[in-house]
Amino acid sequence: MGNSLNAWSEALAGFYLFGLPLGLVIIAAIPLVFIALYSLTYGVYGERKISAFMQDRLGPMEVGKWGILQTIADILKLLQKEDIVPTSADKFLFVVGPGILFVGSFLAFAVLPFSPAFIGASLNVGLFYAIGIVAIEVVGILAAGWGSNNKWSLYGAVRSVAQIVSYEIPAAIALLCGAMMAGTLDMQKITMLQSGTYGFAHFYLFHSPIAWLPFLIYFIASLAEVNRAPFDIPEAESELVAGYFTEYSGMKFAVIFLAEYGSMFMVSAIISIVFLGGWNSPLPNLGAIALNDWTTGPVWGAFWIISKGFFFIFVQMWLRWTLPRLRVDQLMYLCWKVLTPFAFVSFVLTAIWEIYIP
């Protein structure tokens, strides 16, 4: 089995199209796509179950044991639905919008190190790429909202763009604090610098006394970036019906939905990588009991980063089902008058710490 798989992957690696190593790209992409799809399938399932338990309900129970196949059933249902394009919609933008959104949220997966042995593309500007590529989503949202030719969609799109563009600033500055602590933008290197026998003590969250501030700022800003409560004003269902995807149905809706959960996992993975050690085990070596050594390795690495990602997804859901929604102006107030100044403060303090305290 192992040998045939090797032979298969070697054959694929040797596959060139127009002189491009397409096979290599596919080999890297397959696990990524699987990780992404699994994370979001069970992200959706988790959302339903967690919200259900918070609200004294059971949630999905019918499809499979404890409704575990509910998301798959939902996707199958959405696939079969009629693909409606409103007559007055701008057809090109309407169709292209969800695609851009989906691609934008999935492209960032390329630079996420899922284990010491696996990263889609080990860019030396990985973090910068991850921050930048998320901004593509804005184009998709605007295309979807404008192309729908619906007033609610337009409101949702405009709100969303304003929100994402604003919140990228504190988010990026907060991540820069992490990059400063590491001295590199390479995601794999950032992770490796946080490994050590003391486990969690090496994580950048505990690197300096002010590291919790950029961590918190990035977490709050990432909530806004992926349009999650309490910053879900672009799709505020009680105000804007469904925001920029009001007119979408069937698979296009599913694609938008999956993109949203994909970006949820993506920001959760980024915060785990930059501040919580990525694939590093949080367990310390306790003398002879080498917990850290036992729980380190390629497979353990994937386990740790996915667990950390899911933990942050859980916190996002927890907040969503607890908090009401902010108003547009309050959202902007929080971004420009609270988060951005504090992000600068944490940036300066981190720089001072890095320069003067070895």
Interaction site with another protein (CB under 8 A) = 51, 54-57, 151, 155, 229-230, 232-233, 236-241, 321-330
Q: Which is nearer to another protein, 52 or 192 (CB)?
A: 52
What is the rounded distance in angstroms from the CA atom of residue 309 to the CA atom of residue 290? 25
Which residue, among 134, 123, 131, has the nearest Cα to 190 in the 3D structure?
A: 123
What is the closest distance, in whole angstroms, from the C-beta atom of residue 184 to another protein in the complex?
38
The token duo for 309 is 């990602």
Q: Which is nearer to another protein, 35 or 317 (CB)?
A: 317
Question: Which one-letter amino acid corresponds to residue 122?
Answer: S
Are 36 and 109 in contact by the 8 Å Cβ rule? The answer is yes
What is the closest distance, in whole angstroms, from the C-beta atom of residue 38 to another protein in the complex?
26
What is the closest distance, in whole angstroms, from the C-beta atom of residue 44 to another protein in the complex?
16
What is the closest distance, in whole angstroms, from the C-beta atom of residue 327 to another protein in the complex?
5
Residues 6+ apart with CB under 8 A from 246: 148, 150, 152, 153, 156, 240
Q: Which is nearer to another protein, 239 or 354 (CB)?
A: 239
The token duo for 180 is 């400063």
Q: Which is nearer to another protein, 35 or 220 (CB)?
A: 220
Tally the residues of the chain.
Answer: 358
Q: Which is nearer to another protein, 289 or 323 (CB)?
A: 323
What is the closest distance, in whole angstroms, from the C-beta atom of residue 246 to another protein in the complex?
11
Q: Which is nearer to another protein, 159 or 308 (CB)?
A: 159
What is the closest distance, in whole angstroms, from the C-beta atom of residue 83 to another protein in the complex?
22
Are 75 and 69 in contact by the 8 Å Cβ rule? The answer is no
Are 267 and 225 in contact by the 8 Å Cβ rule? The answer is yes
| CA distances (Å), origin 206, targets 4, 63, 115, 287, 296 | 45, 43, 22, 21, 20
Which residue, among 258, 247, 257, 236, has the nearest Cα to 90 in the 3D structure?
A: 247
